[in-house]
Structure 1
Amino acid sequence: MGSFSGHVIPGSLILFLGLWNLRCSVISFLTSPRAFVARVWHPVPLPGHWARLQLYAVVGGGFAYMVSEFVHLFMLSRVQLNSYEHLSTNVAFVVAYSVLLVHASTKLLPFPRGTPQVIVAFPFTCAAVMFLFHSTAHHGPIEARYHLFIVPIAAATVLSLLLSAAFPTSFLLDILANVGVFLQGAWYWVTAAALYGYMQPPHCRTSPTEPDYKLVCEGDKWDHLGISLVYVHFAFLFSATVVALVGCYALAAQSAPSSSIDFILDSDAVPDGSSPCGLFAGAAAAASAVVHPWTSKGFAAEGAEVDKSGGEAIAMAAAILDVEGEEEASLLGGKDHQVKASV
């Protein structure tokens, strides 16, 4: 995998996997929010077995890449076992999605809800562990950071998948898992361009004499520059992913029928015609009126001028206090009458 194509080919497969799942999840949620259920794969609108094209693509693409790497290693480089570490991750993907393919095609594996998410979490766990302890990740400060940035992304993906298995109707957990998959594929592309392509740091080149074509810089100054670029690349990719996701969701929401959006919007948390400041002012004035009954009418008059909702709350508190005052006065009057009669 220590080449441009070795990062781009698996990265493209993971990238399109995340994109397809993101698209289908957003459309499924906006079409019927209350019936939404998280899925790790989505049928393609094609007849027959072609509806499972996503599973065929992952299994076939992963197996083809695994075979090509094995033949390359068998013919040219038997002793560099570090490349077999990448093959182990491909094997995990092929095995996991092959199980899903058997589950979707036959009745041999009747899984309960949430099991596919746990199965897909398996290869991403392998990827996180492999990149954390990758033998090639410590051959240079720049390569080490490009490899280690995969670890938190894969770990977040695994956590989102496991939580999605426990809460399959959560749209946000499904989106987080798919964003993690997309980020991993995109980061493969960034790593390929930065280590072997046109995005190499200034005064840094891959050396064919170094193990696994280590990226060598001309001095410590350029090493520090390359390390800084790693963080810049990740921050830019993360921000661009969030902006693109929000934009795509907005476009999908505009094209979705308004009748299907039956979930509670965030803007509907505060009722129309009342502001949070007004509600707070009304509640505070009502509390003050309860503590100091002699100021209730003054607060009611002032609150009505400030805010309608606050005025209503104050007026209600004042009315309650007036009623209580009248009842208390009538009771006291009755007691005085009884005392005079007894005298």
Structure 2
Amino acid sequence: MGTLVGHVAPGFGFLIIGLWQLFNHIKLYCQHPKSYRPPIWFPAPRVRHLELYLIMMGGWTSILMELFIGPSRHQPLDPTDWTIPSNHLHNFEHATISFTIFTYAAFALHFDRVRLRAGGTLSFLLGALAFAVELLLFYLHSTDHAGVEWQYHWLLQVVISVSLITTVMGIGFPTSFTVGFVRSLSAVFQGVWFNVLGIMLYTPRFIPKGCSLQSDDGRLVVPCDDHLALHRAKALVNLQFAWSLIAVVAFSMWFYFYLAKKYPEVPEYKCLAAKGDQEDYLWESPKKMHVEEKPDNFLDVGKLLKPKDLER
């Protein structure tokens, strides 16, 4: 991921999935606010597992990019002894994140096909595991992100933490619109921040004043000339994060207002025919039933007569 494409490509993946989730959460809540209970993934109108297929395809593509396309020799291992070189450790870490996301999508797809009772809960757990691995590997990164890079990646960990927390909360609060909304919004913001990180950090014209884009052991780094330039660069990163967050939140509010008008609440009716018939039967007077009953034959007349009448 230490390139422009390495950040923008997964960023677009998170952005598309996040927007799809945000759209479906808002639509489902606007139409069915009383029975709102969203799944961890949403089917498309014609392709039920489209979202999971896209996640699996994106995860597998990222693995290939990190391990076999990105390296200069197109394979990540040392050809002399087939060990992992130090300059390729970050490729394996990024590929591990993608493989965890791929694992979540593959098992969620299988759970839905076999209709397991606890499939939804296990899918949430696998989704939380994917975010946990992503957070752990970015926190314990083999590449020592220093200076401007560290600031970008530290703020990225904040967004991943929100995704992890809201995914775990989705197990205990499955009918909470706020939890689903924030989880989708965090995925959107991950995509936005990945794109901001890739474009602003690896495009020479956008490098802060006093810093420069250089190559270090086959990896792009952004060192700064002095402490003052570094402090200014970090402050600019914080402003970019705040502006991006405000833009994403403002868009989500507008998106909610727009979908609320487009998809009004759908009246939910219950079948009360059987219940109404039963109530009518229970409240019907026994005397009325006795009067309305007409015997069809002599045997029925005998059943209606009391023993005292027969003695007379």
What amino acid sits opposite 2:121 in the alignment? G
Separation of aligned partners in 1, 2:149 and 2:44: 38
Contact 1:206–1:214 under 8 Å retained in 2: yes
Contact 1:114–1:168 under 8 Å retained in 2: no
* TM-score normalised by structure 2 residue count: 0.77
Displacement of 1:222: 1.9
Within 5 Å, give how 1:31-110 maps onto structure 2: 31-46=31-46, 50-72=47-69, 73=71, 75=74, 78=77, 79=85, 80=87, 81-107=89-115, 109-110=116-117
Contact 1:115–1:165 under 8 Å retained in 2: no
Contact 1:33–1:260 under 8 Å retained in 2: no
Displacement of 1:31: 0.7
Q: Which residue of 1 aligns with 2:125?
A: 118
What amino acid sits opposite 2:48 in the alignment? A
Q: Which residue of 1 aligns with 2:187?
A: 181
* TM-score normalised by structure 1 residue count: 0.70
Structure-2 change in CA distance of 1:76 and 1:217 (3 Å): farther
Name the SS of the counterpart of 1:208 in structure 2: strand
Contact 1:82–1:135 under 8 Å retained in 2: yes
User: Of the candidates 246, 254, 279, which is equivalent to residue 247 of structure 1?
Assistant: 254
What amino acid sits opposite 1:55 in the alignment? L
Deviations 1:260-287 (A, max 9, x none): 59xxxxxxxxxxxxxxxxxxxxxxxxxx
Separation of aligned partners in 1, 2:60 and 2:218: 26
Displacement of 1:189: 0.6
Contact 2:30–2:265 under 8 Å retained in 1: no
Separation of aligned partners in 2, 1:199 and 1:161: 34
Displacement of 1:76: 6.1
Within 5 Å, give how 1:161-172 maps onto structure 2: 161-172=167-178
Instruction: State the identity as a percent.
Output: 24
Within 5 Å, give how 1:1-343 maps onto structure 2: 1-46=1-46, 50-72=47-69, 73=71, 75=74, 78=77, 79=85, 80=87, 81-107=89-115, 109-136=116-143, 138-197=144-203, 198-209=205-216, 212-257=219-264
Displacement of 1:113: 4.5
Separation of aligned partners in 2, 1:106 and 1:76: 37
State how many pairs are aligned. 256
Separation of aligned partners in 2, 1:207 and 1:124: 31
Higher helix share: 1
Structure-2 change in CA distance of 1:215 and 1:176 (3 Å): same
What amino acid sits opposite 2:127 in the alignment? V
Separation of aligned partners in 1, 2:184 and 2:265: 25
Name the SS of the counterpart of 2:179 in structure 1: helix
Unaligned stretches of 5+ in structure 1? Answer: 262-343
Structure-2 change in CA distance of 1:211 and 1:147 (3 Å): farther
Cα RMSD (Å): 1.9
Name the SS of the counterpart of 1:217 in structure 2: coil
Displacement of 1:227: 0.5
Displacement of 1:202: 2.2
Unaligned stretches of 5+ in structure 2? Answer: 78-84, 269-312
Displacement of 1:251: 0.9
